[in-house]
Structure 1
Amino acid sequence: MGLLLGQIALWRTGVAGRSRTVWGGHAAGLAGMALLAVTEVIATTAAEDPHPSERTDLLDILYGGSSLATGLGLVIVGVAVVRAGAWQGVRRWLPLALGVWVFVPMTPAIMAGFLPARLSITGWMLLFAALGWVLMKADRDRV
């Protein structure tokens, strides 16, 4: 849920602009992250299920769909942030990096096995932590 709040905070900054394309990117990213949160709750009920099974197949679909929607939304928003130029330096590229990360390296790493998947997800979480820091700093600078 914290990642969802981070995306809402990114939306509220307006650094990507307010076009329909940007709105669609935010909506896709938020919907993907909300579905990912629901998927995580469902996954806790399937912890003892064998893999593969009908239940774990459903989880695979939900994880894949939610991750791809989040990644696509963040790529759209990230491109808009870069183009808008409201943020400078490394933070300008952070939303785009979050979206691209889903497709390279995270998706291939998830297919490679447990350890590569966990390492790539950890990298994604660190990028989200950096976004949170940037958003908190930006909010503090406005006050």
Structure 2
Amino acid sequence: MGILNFLREAGEKLFGGSDANAASADDLKKELAKHQLDAEGLDISVDGDKVTVKGQAANSEVAEKIAIALGNTQGVAQVDNQLSVAQPAAESRFYTVVKGDTLSKIAKEMYGDANKYPQIFEANKPMLTHPDKIYPGQVLRIPAL
């Protein structure tokens, strides 16, 4: 999948401070466990605001979700996704949310049909808990239809 870029200041805070420091590899593993995301031989390394993830994911969807869960963490600017995939499929596109976006608006732009927003919502579970809870800077998976 390669390197994905994220807004360092956006994302979920894994620790109580107000500054956007990068999380440790252990913090990031806990974040993945919270979302029930895992890969065989999962290895996460952190170098400043860049996270590298290795291992073997069950499929492309899991590999992509691992990458965006790590990247949508405050303090992370890049994720180098080196996960291999047991069952490859068409890779998703990625979209960075901007102010004023809704899933319907994104679906209209990406698919040509605003009513396809549930596909985007489902593709980003469990990181998304409600279709209205997206924020500027968040990176979303946009799966092929």
Q: Which has the higher helix share?
A: 1
TM over 0.5, shorter chain: no
TM-score (norm 1): 0.27
Whose Rg is larger? 1
TM-score (norm 2): 0.27
